[in-house]
Each structure stands twice: as C-alpha cells, then as structure tokens.
Chains A and B, each alone.
Chain A
Amino acid sequence: MPSRDAYGDFRAALLADDPDKLYDQAPCGYLSTTSDGLVVKVNQTFLTWTGLARDDLVGQRRFAELLTVGGRMYHETHFAPMLHLQGAVREMALDVLLADGETLPVLVNAVLERAPDGTPLVVRVALFDATERRQYERELLRARRSAEAAETRALALARTLQQTLIPPEPPEIPGLDVAAVYRPAGDGAEVGGDFYDVFQVTDDDWVFVLGDVSGKGVDAAVLTSLIRYSVRGLAIRMAEPSDVLRELNSLLLARDVSRFCTLALLRLARVGAGWRLEASFGGHPPAVVLRPGARSLRFGASGFLVGVFDDVEFTTSRLVLGPGESLVLYTDGVTDAQNGDAHFGEERLMDLLEVLGPHPDSLVRGVLAEILDFQDQPRDDIAMLAVHVPTEEPPG
C-alpha cells in the first residue's frame, strides 16, 4: 500500500505531465493523416520504433507508403474502404517498414473524423507493436492449416477404404441374375460397417456374403476387411456354410477387440435349371424368397451374432431356387429405417418385394428408393443382394 504522501506525489506528477509528453511518449505509435492518408502529425514512439525522421514523414508520405507492399495492397482493398464506410478500422494486422529495411508487425486501430456536413477531415491511427502476438498467431494458423489438411487426408482415406470394401458391381454369373446396392449412412465421410462379397469357388459354385460389422470408422473397416478375406479363405476349405461361421466366430473371439458382426453366408450350386442354396446366418435377418404366384417366404434362422459367444452353434438351411424364383438378402438398415417412431419393418419389406419382383435390379433399387423416401434421416448403412433364376437361358 503506498503512503498517502506517495499517492499525492504521484497525482501531482501526473497532472504536471503535459499533453505533448502524453502524446509523444504514449506506449503506442500515433499518426494523424489527411483523409487521403498524407501524414500530418506523428508521435515520438512511432519515430523511435521505425527509425524514421519526422521531416521525412510529415507532409511527405502517405500512411500506406509506410507499409510493406503486401500491406499496401491490403490497405487499399480493405483498410481504406472500411475506414470510409464504417468510419473505423479495428485490430488490422499490418507490417510497417523500418528505416533499416526490417519490418515491424503491428495491430492498427484507426478512426476517420468527419465535419458535421460529412466531409472527411482527419484520420487518427494508433499502432501497437504485435511482434510476439503475430508469431503466436502465425503458429496458430499453421496448426489450424495442418489440422485441416489432416482432416482432408482422413476423409480421403475413409473414402478410399470404403471403395476397397465394396465391390463396384457383382460379377456376371451364367444362369443367375445378380444385383446389389450399398448406401452408407450419413454423408459418406465415415466408413460404414455394411459390406457384401460375391465370389466363385468352382464352376457353377458361388458364395454370397452380406454382413454388418459393429461400429464405424477405421477399426470397423479393418475388421470388415479381415472378415471378408477370412470368409473367402474358409469358404474354399469348408463346404458347409455353418462351419465357416463357426470358424469365423473363433477367429473373431481370438482377436482382442470387442467388435462383432452379423453375417449371411450363401452357397449357390447350379443343379439343372435351378440352383441349390445352402445358407447360414449369424445374427442376421433371414433372406426373403419370392416365388411366382405364391406368397414370399423367409428363408433361414437368424442365429447368433458372430464374434460374441464362445460356444455357439450355427445351422445350415437348404433350398432349391427354381426358374422364375428370386432371393433377397438385406442388412438391418432396411427394416430398421425410421420415420419418427415408425420402423420400416419386415412386413412392409415383404409386401414391397412382391410388388417389385422378380428381377434383382428392380428389387434392390426399388427397396432402396422406398427406404430413402421413408426414413427421415439416414441412421444406418443399407446393403442388399438379390439373385434371380431366369426362366429361360439367354441366347448364346
């Protein structure tokens, strides 16, 4: 606490401080210019900072001429217009040229004073040394730019990953029409968990896989990749779809991750004019079979999730798909599609498929269009695979 006397002395000194000193030794650079920028008055602080002589400035130089060329351009395109239209400029970052050729980063505040009739009279400019602040801000900006670049790269990576996980079109299979759709939830920036795969084991022996890996993002994508190639390897060694699922279950449990999947595995072998189907489902919605002139029916039991329980049994269901018949596999993004509290549901799907059938392309595209129309927002990925046995062999 200063003594009463010390405070009194201090006040007296302050009052004795003459205005010229307050102006000249203010802790900021201070300039007055005409409305078009010609310097008419400058304080000592500015002269000390810049090393410029008063006589070289007053009546000689415009404010813009004291700036770097880039700053001069910024002055003309931003500073001057804002000053004229807003009457003031605040915290503009500029660089002042010093007598020794160096530059001084400053923050500038300026006001334009007008006569009562609106005629611009004088511009008052205060400049604050911003050397350290500028360094800090440039570092911030660099950090921001690199964060933005990293985000862009991550987005591109997610898209690339996504592309590798989805075969663009299912292959051509003689004697079978095939179609598939895939629609990731959201804006496509994140890798979704749904996938499908169609591959050949031997002549007229094909495997269809449709799955849904829990979670999203890169971890889910890595697991999806693992599952897809494991299933390819296992399906070639093991004829029974339920055996493949059992092996896959052990494989996922052996990994130290808490992710799991649902999977529909279908093996199709050509027999005469039709195809023999063997299917096993792991926590996955059953397939829908469409028959001409009959009601559609569910095929397969949904079974246990793959990669959750140690001791699980999977079953294999069998069916022959005859000429004119179709089969549809879908992930839960279809039936779980929501509009408010209402779900799209299995009943609605079965009815819709009967209307759309039997061609695979119209089935999958028709359902997708209907779902997109139904749901208020895309909460989940949507994937579908459909096959159809044509009634007649196409010529050739």
Chain B
Amino acid sequence: MDAGARWNVHQSGPEGGPVLLFAHGFGCDQHMWRHVAGAFEDEFRVVLFDLAGSGGSDLASYDPDRYASLRGHAEDVLELCDELGLEDVTFIGHSVSAMIGVLAAVAEPSRFARLVLVGPSPRYTDVDDYRGGFSAEDIDGLLESLDDNYLGWAESMAPVIMGNADRPTLGAELTSSFCRTDPEVARHFARVTFTSDNRADLHQVTTPTLVLQCREDVIAPQHVGEYVHQAIPGSRLTVLDATGHCPNLSAPDATTAAIADFLRGT
C-alpha cells in the first residue's frame, strides 16, 4: 500500500518548496492542524498525514506489535519521508507526535532540518524526581474514559454522514472519522502514548528544535516543556499565552506566528 493510502497523506503548497511535515497528537487526526497549516501553503510544501490507527489511516494494517512503542510510529515517519522523497524536513509534531519526531530525528538526523515540538512530554507519569503530572491510576482513568465512550463509536458516525443542519458539522473536507477510531486501537495507542518514556532520547537530538509550550496545559505542564528544552541541546522554548493542550486549535494565530518566527530564524 502506498504512503498516501496508508497514512491518508494530504499535500499542498509548491512541490519544490521546503518541506513542513505536520503530525497530530493522540485522540484526533491531521485536522488538528486545520487552522495552522494553511498559513504556510504559499511558501512551503505542506504535508499532512494520520498516524497509523488514527483518522483516515489504513486501520487494517495497524499491527499492535509494530506500534507497541512510539518507535514504530517514528519508523513510519521515516518510511513516509522516504516514499514521498521528503528531504530537509521541518517536522512539526503535536503532543505524542513531538516525541515521535524526536525519535525519527535521532534515528536519521540527515533527514530533518528542524523540529517543532508542540506540547511535548517525554514521560507522562511521575518517577523519582521527575514529575510528568500523572500516576499509573490516572492513565487507567483515561483508558476507562475511552471505554465509556466505546459504545458510541459506531452510532456517532450517523449524524455526521447525514449532515443534519441542526448539528453544525465540519467542512466538507473533514471526514467523519475525526477524533474517532476503532476503540481497541485507540486503547492500545493510549496505553503506548501515556506509558512511554523518551527522556533519554532528548539528549541525542542534534536537529535545531523549537519547543512550543502553552502557559496552562494539563497534559504537558509548563515545567515539562522546560525539561524538554533543557534536555535538547541548543533548543529554543516559546511559551504561548494559551490554555489547554491544543494551541493549534485554541490559539492558532499565536502558534502559526511562533512557528513562522522559528522558520525565519533558523
């Protein structure tokens, strides 16, 4: 299966332009970049994709063994770059994809020009002196929340497909799979994401890196963003005056500006 179908790749902007590869976080899909990616289309070759198991990716090829750690997704990123012929890539990863980008850039530094890590966390659970912000029970709580929303999975497609006027649906380009995927896959991905520990990988990053941190973020608190910034040699930290874990949605203009500033400066 080609990259386009396997990861639901969407490209825009000039084909020969410098490459921006946007990767979404846990929970939803590439539409998370909807209010940001467009701003770069004039100048850059913008590439969007869905992580295996999310959005419009090929669910049939989701292999729990391959994706038992974030490395499987990082290998996907490298395969995708290879297949699409992407060089000097600026990888912009939100949430868990920040660490996927770190792993990919450590594995094949020559492929990447820059890394932009939006709301990164190298480890979500507390250990020793490290404060990820969550306990193992909290992660179980998330899995329970996923389960509690399990039954709604199939039925929830209907109103979106019907396009009921009473319920404002997404634009035509948005698919019904947004924030929805096979519950078992979501559960597996949640466990892999929130039990990962990539602290040791941060020190090995040689790619110029921007850490984009929200002022208030429950999932990746500010001190975690600072930890990532300290651990990646020469990285830059920008704190956005935004609340929540998704500045790409809640503060798209500030997010776009910070990325653009970084692209100009490096």
Chain A residues engaging chain B, CB cutoff 8 angstroms: 35-37, 62, 64, 68-74, 76-78, 80-82, 84-88, 90-95, 105, 134, 137-138, 140-141
Contact A141 B147 (CB under 8 A): yes
Q: Please judge, given known A-B contacts A88-B168, A92-B149, A140-B151, whether A76 and B138 are in contact too, CB under 8 Å.
A: no
Task: Report the nearest A residue to B193, measured CB to CB.
Answer: A77
What range describes how many residues of B lie at the interface?
A: 35 or more
Contacting A at CB under 8 A, from B200-246, are 217-219, 242-246
Question: Smallest Cβ distance from A147 to chain B, in angstroms?
Answer: 14
Q: Please judge, given known A-B contacts A37-B244, A72-B218, whether A86 and B25 are in contact too, CB under 8 Å.
A: no
- Roughly how many angstroms separate A141 CA and B144 CA in the complex, as a whole number? 11
Q: Please judge, given known A-B contacts A86-B168, A86-B169, whether A94 and B249 are in contact too, CB under 8 Å.
A: no
B174 / chain A contacts, CB cutoff of 8 Å:
85-86
Contact with A along B133-173 (1 / 0, CB 8 A): 01000111111111111111000100100000001111000
Q: 9 additional contacts, CB 8 Å, given A36-B243, A77-B28, A138-B147? A: A69-B142, A70-B142, A70-B143, A73-B219, A76-B245, A80-B249, A85-B28, A94-B145, A105-B148
Contact A80 B151 (CB under 8 A): no
From A85, A90, A138, contact of B34 by CB (8 A): A85
Contact B249 A137 (CB under 8 A): no
From A36, A68, A84, A137, contact of B151 by CB (8 A): A137
Q: Is B27 positioned at the interface, with any CB of A under 8 Å from its CB?
A: yes
Q: Is B12 positioned at the interface, with any CB of A under 8 Å from its CB?
A: no
A64 / chain B contacts, CB cutoff of 8 Å:
218
Contact B150 A141 (CB under 8 A): yes
Chain B residues engaging chain A, CB cutoff 8 angstroms: 25-28, 31-32, 34, 95, 134, 138-152, 156, 159, 167-170, 174, 178-179, 194, 217-219, 242-246, 249-250
Question: Smallest Cβ distance from B148 to chain A, in angstroms?
Answer: 4
Contact B142 A73 (CB under 8 A): yes
Q: Please judge, given known A-B contacts A84-B249, A85-B249, whether A73 and B218 are in contact too, CB under 8 Å.
A: yes
Contact A81 B32 (CB under 8 A): yes
Contact A71 B145 (CB under 8 A): yes
Main SS class of interface, A: helix
A105 / chain B contacts, CB cutoff of 8 Å:
148
B144 / chain A contacts, CB cutoff of 8 Å:
70
Contact A81 B218 (CB under 8 A): no
B168 / chain A contacts, CB cutoff of 8 Å:
86-88
B219 / chain A contacts, CB cutoff of 8 Å:
73, 76-77
- Roughly how many angstroms separate A82 CA and B250 CA in the complex, as a whole number? 11
A–B Cβ pairs within 8 angstroms, 29 of them: A36-B244, A37-B244, A62-B243, A69-B142, A71-B145, A73-B194, A74-B142, A77-B27, A77-B28, A77-B95, A78-B149, A80-B244, A81-B32, A81-B179, A81-B246, A85-B34, A85-B178, A86-B169, A86-B174, A88-B167, A93-B145, A93-B148, A93-B149, A94-B148, A95-B145, A134-B148, A137-B151, A138-B147, A141-B151
Contact B140 A70 (CB under 8 A): yes
Question: Smallest Cβ distance from A226 to chain B, in angstroms?
Answer: 38
Contact B179 A73 (CB under 8 A): no
Contact B28 A81 (CB under 8 A): yes
B156 / chain A contacts, CB cutoff of 8 Å:
90-91
